[in-house]
Amino acid sequence: MNDRIKDLLLNTFGKDCVVFNVSAKNFTSFKTGGELAAVVFPSEKKHIEFLFNLSKEGVSVRFIGCGSNLLISDDGFDGIMAITKKISGISRSEKELSVLAGTKLSTLIKFCIKKDISGFEFLAGIPGTIGGALINNAGIKEKSISQVVLFVEYMDKNGLWQRKGKNEIIWDYRYSGLREKSFFVFSTVLIGEKGDPDQIKKKIALIMKKRKETQPLVFPSAGSVFKNPPGFFAGKLIDQAGLKGFKVGGAMVSEKHANFIVNTGNATSTDVFNLMKYIQKTIINRYNITLEPEIELLGRFP
């Protein structure tokens, strides 16, 4: 990254909100990855507009929340990684919640418990932020975030701010049209229901209990690695193929949930990537089913 871009970043964000040449391990839930040329922490729309203008100059810009659905190459990323945690907050009007993109899903759950708002319990235990949840239509088997969306505000690929209703956006399994349409998802309006606080807490406790029993929360991971193919569960296919506990370097198929790859302590992103490829090859050879990654790959891989 050249000195001109570095100076622009420092002048725009301030020295406390820019970091140069830092390891991706500090910003991803996998705790892997190479060096990031620049990390910035935008906090308002003018910062997004500035980053958009840089992108038009050919500078690579990527946004992440908690880095929980992401595998960054060991070669790193020679662009600008913008972390959204300063674009965070929730406001309420009756049953509607206005939520900024960098708000953690766990923060939304705590807010709903405090305000006796039901309808969002299914998001309990899902790592990440509202922005990532919208782009990936996050959820569980029975319910996805698209079902509680009223509006989404985002900057489109032409640098224009848009506010679209739920029905103006394409939604699918672990996918939304925001992935192609948006440069940056800024906020959303969600609809909830007045709930009984004890029932809300009970639902969340049951969901969290199940997650702790079935998911490897002790090790660094990025959540479910593969999407469920139509009519099947990715984890079950991987389990039936006998891959639980299979390792490549420091990356291992979780013995608790086969659709999780965990970092046992010294994994590289290449280890994770090679394990993913091995799983895909095994499943297509055994079942003639292609597993599509749910996690995003950023950078150069073998």
Residue pLDDT, tens place only, 236-294 = 999 999 999 999 999 999 999 999 999 999 999 999 999 999 999 999 999 999 999 99
Q: Are 103 and 183 within one domain?
A: yes
**Residue at 249 is within a domain:** yes
Residue 210 lies in a domain: no
Catalytic residue, from 68, 182, 224, 254: name it. Answer: 224
Residue type, 174: R
- Identify whether residues 121 and 176 lie together within a single domain: yes
The number of folded domains in the chain is 3
Predicted confidence at residue 217, as pLDDT, reads 86
Q: Which of 189, 179, 170, 76 is nearest to 132 (CA)?
A: 179
The verdict on 253 and 269 lying in the same domain is: yes
- The model carries a pTM of 0.92
Domain identity same for 70 and 95: no
Q: How far apart, in Å, are the Cα atoms of 3 and each of 7, 10, 27, 50?
A: 6, 10, 24, 17
Co-location of 184 and 133 in the same domain: yes
Are 130 and 164 in a shared domain?
yes
Mean pLDDT of the chain: 96
- Quick check: is 224 catalytic? yes
Q: List, for residues 66-125, the tens digit of each pLDDT value.
A: 999 999 999 999 999 999 999 999 999 988 999 999 999 999 999 999 999 999 999 999
Q: Per-residue pLDDT averaged across 25-31, rounded?
A: 96
Across 148-175, average pLDDT:
97
Catalytic site residue from 174, 179, 211, 296: 174
The catalytic position among 43, 146, 176, 294 is 294
Q: Helix crossing, 45-56 with 3-13: angle to 10°?
A: 170
> Is the distance from CB of 292 to CB of 64 less than 8 angstroms?
no
Q: Kindly report the CATH number assigned to the domain that includes residue 220.
A: 3.90.78.10
Active-site residue 294, yes or no? Answer: yes
190 with 106, same domain: the answer is: yes
Residue 203 inside a domain? The answer is: no
Task: Read off the pLDDT band of 25 (50, 70, 90).
Answer: very high
Clarify whether residues 110 and 183 are in a common domain: yes
Range of the domain at 118: 90-198
State how far the Cα of 81 lies from the Cα of 21, in Å rounded to an integer: 11
Domain closes at, from 35, 56, 86? 86
Domain end marker among 51, 86, 121:
86
76 lies in the same domain as 99 = no
The CATH number assigned to the domain holding 34 equals 3.30.43.10
Please give the share of the chain, as a percent, with pLDDT higher than 70: 100
What's the CA angle centered on 51, arms 49 and 56, to 5 degrees? 95
The answer to whether residue 180 is catalytic is no
Within-domain flag for 205: no
With respect to residue 276, please indicate whether it lies within any of the assigned structural domains. yes
Q: Are residues 105 and 181 in the same domain?
A: yes
Give the domain-ending residue among 56, 86, 116: 86
Q: What CATH number corresponds to the domain at position 180? A: 3.30.465.10
Is 225 within a domain?
Answer: yes
The answer to whether residues 71 and 125 belong to one domain is no
Within-domain flag for 211: no
Same domain flag for 163 and 146: yes
* Contact (Cβ atoms closer than 8 angstroms) between residue 183 and residue 55: yes
